Structures are given as C-alpha cells and as structure tokens.
Structure 1
Amino acid sequence: MGRQEYYNTFPVVEIQQTFYKLPRLSTGVRWQAGAPTGFEFTMKAWQLITHEPSSPTYRRLTKPISPESKDRYGAFRPTEEVFEAWAQTRAFAAALGASIIVFQCPPSFTPTSEHIANLRAFFTSVDRAGWQAAWEPRGAWTADLIQGLCRELELVHVVDPLKEPSLYGPIRYYRLHGLTGYRYVHTDQDLERLKTVYKNDLPTYCLFNNLLMAEDAIRFQALLGEKAKPLRARALKVVR
C-alpha cells in the first residue's frame, strides 16, 4: 500500500519504524511534504530511550550496542547516550512535523525510585516546545502514581481503552493492541464498546496496533459514520 492510500483513508498515521531505528531526516521531510493539508503524523520514540539493550527489539538496530556500554541505554537513564538518542528522535520528529511522540515503556520499566527519578529528569530536561509527550507505561504502575506523574510532567497517559481508562492529558491517545495479543481481531461488540468510551470534552486519537489494524480501523471508522475505504492503513484518529 502506498503512502497516498494512507493519506486518502485516514487523517493521521502513527510511525512505528522510529521505535526500531530512525529513518533519515530526508525521509521525514519527504513524507511530510507529500501529505495533504491537515494530515497529521505521530510517532514512537526511539527504543534507545525507553528500552534496555536486553530487549529483543534491539536486534533491528543497524549498529549493535557494544557490551561495555549496554548499561547506558534505555529506562530514560540520564546518560549522554540516551540524550543523544533523544536529540536524533527530536530531529526526525521536527522533519516529519510530528505532533505527538509516544514513549512506550516495557514491562521491565517498573515503578522503582530509580525509574521514577529517571523519568522526571528526562522530561524536565528535554525541550518540550512544539510537540506533545505521550507515555504508555506497562507493568505494575498504580493509577495514582501514573496520574500524578502525568500531571507533574505534562504527559498524556496512553492506554488501550478496552483494558484500562485514560487517567490524564489534554487529549486522549488510545493504542489498541488486541485483547489477547497482536493477532486478535476486534469483534463488533469490541468496537461498539470502544465507541461508548469516547467523550466529547477532549480530542481523541485511536490507533490500532494489531495484526489486522487496517481492517479494524476501517470498520471502526464506518461505525462512527465517517468515510471509510477498503484500503490498508495503520491508524485512525477520531476528534469529537
């Protein structure tokens, strides 16, 4: 499926490639220049910021991490390596014109005092102008702690709304991963339930991230009565 088909089908696409390895800046410029007026890009932050080198996703890096520096990557560590990864992530986001950067954390990023300190240090140090930070915690984080940190650090809480509620943010940012895993196909009942989650007070982004993400997004778009086409796509945004 070509980019133009994405543009014709949905008003927003979340770029996931940026999590595994960052494309060239010229690629971001080209994608942004080719998009129609009003089209929106969001993207995931590079894994070197959020995930430690023990993550299997590091296999997709172009340049492997050296064994002696493995303890300097991921978990929002206050290291030169993490902040360099952020600088490159931010540069690509600017080239792409991304409005939102999603920081998805692994379950191993638990609510320890060290991890919380790292999170605070990172988001109070980086330039926040021109983009919205969205945080997707996973694992044993309590609702009170998530809400408090999101309020303190001005983060949008990212959730799968079929599994848990959104706790904080000037927008709602939903990422649906499938109720039982990546191969899950959302039922009509799931989509009806998703429709009831929406409220009219905040802009709401709904991004499907399962194997049949395109089909599920198109079905949901049709359920909402919006224009849908039988094309493959990664994401759907609904603003109500």
Structure 2
Amino acid sequence: MIRVGTCGFCEGKRKYFKDFDTVEIQQTFYRIMQERTLRRWKEEAPEGFTFSIKAFQGITHPPSSPTWRRSNVKPSRNVGLLKPTSEVFHYWRLTLKEAEVLGARFILIQLPRSFKENEESFSNAEKFFNSIERKDFEIAVELRGWSEKGIKEFVREFDVIDVTDPLVRIPLHKGKVRYYRLHGRYEEGKIIYNHSYSDEELKKLRERVLGWNIEESFVFFNNVAMCKDAKRFKSLLDLH
C-alpha cells in the first residue's frame, strides 16, 4: 500500500481530505498547538486517514536556528539536538500529547545539519531515546549530511524509521514501513525547494517506491509545487 500526501495542508482542508489520505503536520514543528485545533482536524478527517506530526523544534533545533522566528516559544540555550535536558524532554512530552490528541500514527524527528555525525550526537541520541516514552507511535528520523554508514547505525541502534528521498538513496532500515520526503532538487548539498518534478522523475520515483515497498509506503512532497506534484504522482500510481 502506498499513501501520498504533502508536508502541511497544501490546499483547504475539506478539499485536501478528499484528494489525499495522509498528511504530515508542519505547524507542530514551529508552534505549540492548541488541543482544540488538533481535535477539530481529527474530527474533520475521513475514516482511515493517516496523520503524521513533525516534532517541535525545541527537541531538534538549537536557539540559533532561523526557524525559531516563526515560533510562539522563546528558546533557551538548552534546546535542540536531542540534548538530554529538561527543556528537550518537556517539548517531547508536549509533542507526544499533540500526537495523541490528533490520533497520529507517526512522529517525525527532523534533525538539522548542525546535528553532526559525531560521538556527541550519538551520546545525545542514546540518552534521549533511552529516556523518552514512545507509546504506540512510530518514530521517523530524517538525518541531514550523514553518511549511509552513520544513518544505518543510528536507525538500527534507536529503532526508528529512516526518512529518505527515494530519488537520492534507498532506505537503510529493515522495517515494514517506508517514510519518504521529497523536498525538490539538490545543488551542491543545498535543497532547492522551488522545483517541480518532471514526468521522468515521478516515473523513477514510482519505480523505486514500488520496487522497495515491503508493506506500506508513505510519500510526502515538500517542494513549492507539492500539491500539484503529489496529485500527479497519485495519478501515476493509479495507472500502474
């Protein structure tokens, strides 16, 4: 089974719930959400719809990250990078609560490039994952700038889903669920979000997702043209 959606609602929710069967909530990364908003989204979604939420940036991003400019929280020096601090664990509990209210299946932990592939990061991750409660949520982790060897060790050690772009590399975990994020094209290590996928790229994406699929695959588009490209990709899957 392959489910296709976007990172954030790319159109009005009522229409989105008709066009797609999954979404990755982005607001939970930038802001602490009100429960009534999440509860309303859950009630509006059709039966069988799958929510994923992006973990709050206080867990992953240091106070120097520009993403904090959009937050309703002022960061302390002890936030981000999976540091085993009271602030990070507090934000994890808040994220966990939001996932419960929304009825989410996945929690995405997107780590910035400042989360380097080194001993300190592994130590932080070990203390973080050994301390947190996961409940029944599946944890997906996107590591940026890491080697395949480092990613493979990380996802195996902490039993998380390896989030990847199928046009870039194969997933490195052995679970029955695949979680893909497509941000656009890459130039010299930088992501160019202002990208519309060509027919050839989408056909290659279909070939890889179908070829690698074990049980379930979730494909989330996160480029500027995500709504259009996600619908085009869904059409390709329907024609297969």
TM-score relative to the length of structure 1: 0.89
Of 198-207 and 153-162, deviating more is 198-207
Q: Deviations over 1:77-120 (max 9, x none)?
A: 11010011111111111000110011011111111211111111
Secondary structure in 1 matching 2:109: strand
**In structure 1, what is the Cα distance between the partners aligned to 2:93 and 2:35?**
12
Q: Which runs of 5+ in 1 are unaligned?
A: 227-240
Q: How does 1:62-101 map to 2 (within 5 A)?
A: 62-65=72-75, 69-70=76-77, 72-101=78-107
- Whether 1:159 aligns to 2:164 is yes
**Over 4 Å off, 4+ runs:** none
Q: How does 1:7-46 map to 2 (within 5 A)?
A: 7-46=17-56
**In structure 1, what is the Cα distance between the partners aligned to 2:214 and 2:87?**
40
1:225 corresponding residue in structure 2: 238
Q: Alpha-carbon deviation of 1:64?
A: 2.2
CA contact (8 A) 1:50 1:105 kept: yes
Of 148-157 and 79-88, deviating more is 148-157
CA contact (8 A) 2:177 2:214 kept: no
**In structure 1, what is the Cα distance between the partners aligned to 2:230 and 2:132?**
33
2:196 corresponding residue in structure 1: 185
Q: Which runs of 5+ in 2 are unaligned?
A: 1-10, 187-191
Q: Deviations over 1:117-147 (max 9, x none)?
A: 11111112111221000000001x2212211
- Whether 1:197 aligns to 2:208 is yes
**In structure 1, what is the Cα distance between the partners aligned to 2:204 and 2:60?**
31
Q: Give RMSD over aligned pairs.
A: 1.4
CA contact (8 A) 1:162 1:179 kept: no
Larger strand proportion of the pair: 2
1:233 corresponding residue in structure 2: none
CA contact (8 A) 1:156 1:170 kept: no
**In structure 1, what is the Cα distance between the partners aligned to 2:237 and 2:100?**
32
**In structure 2, what is the Cα distance between the partners aligned to 1:123 and 1:38?**
29
Query: What percent identity do the matched residue pairs reach?
Result: 42
Secondary structure in 1 matching 2:52: strand
Secondary structure in 2 matching 1:124: helix
**In structure 1, what is the Cα distance between the partners aligned to 2:101 and 2:26?**
16
Secondary structure in 2 matching 1:102: strand
- Whether 1:115 aligns to 2:121 is yes
What is the aligned residue count? 222
1:229 corresponding residue in structure 2: none
**In structure 2, what is the Cα distance between the partners aligned to 1:106 and 1:149?**
15
TM-score relative to the length of structure 2: 0.89
